[in-house]
Structure 1
Amino acid sequence: MIFKVYYQKSITEVPVRENTKTMYVEANYEREVRTKLADRGFNIEYVQPVVDAFLDYEKQNEDFKVLEID
């Protein structure tokens, strides 16, 4: 399954909408996404599953790249 992760680049940053970044991560469930990203120092705001029509829509974005993190 693919998840869309909303995050700030630094865990010390206060979440501000204008500074929020997104990435796509392949995992089986949300907890696995958070575990995979734990050592990167991101301030993860929200993890959202991307399925069906939403996934098709996101694939149209030129920045759509799925990270496969072990």
Structure 2
Amino acid sequence: MIFKVYYQESLKQVPVRENTKTIYMAADSEREVRTKLSDRPFNIEYVEAVKGKYLEYEQQNEDFEVLEIE
């Protein structure tokens, strides 16, 4: 499953919508996404599953790239 992760680049940074970045990750669950990103200094705001028409829409974006972390 593909997940879209909304995050700030610093754990110390207060979430501000204009500074929010996104990445896409392949994982089996939200917990797995958070575990895989735990070694990075990200302040994760929200993780959502992307599927169906929503996934098709996101794939049309030229910046769409799925991050594979073991």
State the TM-score, normalizing by the size of structure 2: 0.99
Question: How far apart in 2 are the matches of 1:32 and 1:52?
Answer: 21
Aligned-residue sequence identity (percent) comes to 70
Counterparts in 2 of 1:30-41, with a 5 A limit? 30-41=30-41
Query: How much has 1:30 moved relative to structure 2?
Result: 0.1
Runs of 4 or more consecutive aligned structure 1 residues displaced over 6 Å after TM superposition: none
Amino acid at match of 1:36: K
After superposition, the CA RMSD in angstroms is 0.3
Unaligned runs of 5+ residues in structure 1 are none
State the TM-score, normalizing by the size of structure 1: 0.99
Residues 1:67 and 2:67 are matched in the alignment: yes
Partner of 2:18: 18
Question: How far apart in 2 are the matches of 1:41 and 1:32?
Answer: 17
Relative to total residues, which structure has the larger helix share, 1 or 2?
Answer: 1
Unaligned runs of 5+ residues in structure 2 are none
